[in-house]
Structure 1
Amino acid sequence: MQRLDETEISKAILNSYHEILLARIVSDVVIVGAGPAGLVAGTYLARQGAKVTLLEKRLAPGGGIWGGGMGMNVAVVQQEAIPVLDEMHIRYTPKSEGLYVVDAIELAAGLCFSAVQAGVAVLNLVAVEDLCVHQGQVTGVVVNRTMISGALPVDPIVLSAKAVVDATGHEAVLVAALRKRCLLPSLTDGKPPVEGPLDADSGERFVVEHVQELFPGLWITGMSVSATLGGPRMGPIFGGMLLSGQRTAQQIAPTLKA
């Protein structure tokens, strides 16, 4: 085995990461939240040639997939989402009519692998503190290290993009940032909508059908859709997240060519 030099190891990490970060100061699309919807949206966009940067505040991407239902690492996917699994080369087993089970570890790892292989730059341990808005248009995200954000008085930096996607799930962090700045009007009775109680069938349809550009330059996908527009949650079934991410990519892709 070759003799190792700790200094060269450090240089390799620093030089490589800074090359990645510098290349992603400006992207076609910045997706915030590396759960299933964000990963799928990023993969499809990158496969079409878009420069996609995916930010995740936690150490591991994958969102809530890893725990399956109640800590049992099995994920359920409905028939309509099977083509997405096929395209990502993720295995599944039929369980009952129209329902399939997937090893949650394979699903999370497979989505992460597909995104990186497609060319998505995944930056974990990066938290979004705010949005950059110019002339009524979201033009980027204000980011900091997760360990620094909110803990130390250290200024963030900006990553710019033509389109920004809120894939942060129940928190809908980017939508909340716009509301905090009074840039996004309330949608019901002067108050923001509240995410509804669990209804698997309605919840799955809602997160797919209501993918949209909520504010110029800002799109919502996955559970951020329900959290923002008052749709129901759906529990431990993941097909809607996959299809929501796919639809997000389908809607954003044409805007990048305009």
Structure 2
Amino acid sequence: MRGLDEAKVSEVIVRSYMNAFLDALSIDVAVIGAGPSGMTAAYYLAKRGVKTAIFERHIHVGGGMPGGGMMFPRIVIEEDAREITEEFEIHIEDFGDGYLVADAVEAVAMLCAKCLKSGARIFNMISVEDVVFRDGRICGVVLNWSAAERAKIHVDPLVVRSDVVIDATGHDAEICRIVERKISASLRTDTGGVIGERSMWAEMGEKALIENTREIFPGLVVAGMAANAVAGSPRMGAVFGGMFLSGKKAAEIAYDIVTRR
């Protein structure tokens, strides 16, 4: 094996990452959160030629999906989402009566691989601390290193501009809460704000999720568990069919917005 120069190793890592990051400073869609709905949305957008990047605060992708139900790494997917799981080549077991089961780790791996192969980029270990607001709409996100956030070090952020932002941050609905708090904006909910998720009711939560996936504020689309949290709908536990369907719907909404601008 040819000798390695440690400084050269550092150089190529920095150059490669900086090239990707510079290219992502102006994009069509910024997806916040690399969970199932976020990666699904990014996949369908990039597949249609939309310049898309995901920003994920954790070192890993997949959101809460890898843990399955109470650390049994299996997830349930309804028949309605079978076509999407097949597109992602996720192996499923059919337990009858509409209950499909997938290995949670495999599902995350296949989602991530397909998402990246479609042309979307994933930037992990980056948090969103604010949004860019112009002319009554969201048009970008304000980023910082997750490590700086956790260490509570004051470091000024950097900005990525985008035509659309998708809040796929899960239960916390972080981007919608930022908009509610810092812009004093009225979201498209019954109260005008983030209502907060309700207790477990898997069937109702799954049904509500697709309806709740929408442009919640000009330039801001909400997807996945964040959509139910914003609208005040129930949580679903380790049932993920709705997450895939929500991600696909969010991509369709974002695509329509991008192509209209």
TM-score with structure 2 length normalisation?
0.96
1:5 aligned residue: 5
Which deviations, in whole Å up to 9, do the C-alpha atoms of 1:36-83 show, x marking residues without a partner? 000000000000000001010000011011000000001110100010
Whether 1:242 aligns to 2:230 is no
1:29 aligned residue: 29
Secondary structure of the residue aligned to 1:175 is: helix
Q: Contact 2:205 / 2:233 at 8 angstroms: preserved in 1? A: yes
Q: How does 1:1-258 map to 2 (within 5 A)?
A: 1-149=1-149, 151-185=152-186, 187-188=189-190, 192-258=194-260
Identity within the alignment, %: 35
Q: Distance in 2 between matches of 1:189 and 1:17?
A: 42
**Number of aligned pairs?**
258
* More off after superposition, 140-149 vs 180-189: 180-189
Q: Contact 2:167 / 2:226 at 8 angstroms: preserved in 1? A: yes
Q: Distance in 2 between matches of 1:121 and 1:212?
A: 23
Q: Distance in 2 between matches of 1:236 and 1:166?
A: 20
Q: Distance in 2 between matches of 1:116 and 1:190?
A: 35
Shift of 1:254: 2.0
Structure 2 gaps of 5+ residues are: none
Q: Distance in 2 between matches of 1:93 and 1:2?
A: 46
Structure 1 gaps of 5+ residues are: none
Q: Choose between structure 1 and 2: higher helix proportion.
A: 2
Which deviations, in whole Å up to 9, do the C-alpha atoms of 1:95-115 show, x marking residues without a partner? 121111101110000100010
Which deviations, in whole Å up to 9, do the C-alpha atoms of 1:6-30 show, x marking residues without a partner? 0111011000000000000001000
* Cα gap change, 1:222 to 1:81, in 2 (>3 Å): same
Q: Distance in 2 between matches of 1:183 and 1:111?
A: 35
Shift of 1:243: 0.3
Aligned-residue CA RMSD (Å): 1.3
TM-score with structure 1 length normalisation?
0.97
Q: Distance in 2 between matches of 1:44 and 1:30?
A: 13
Secondary structure of the residue aligned to 1:131 is: strand
Shift of 1:192: 4.1
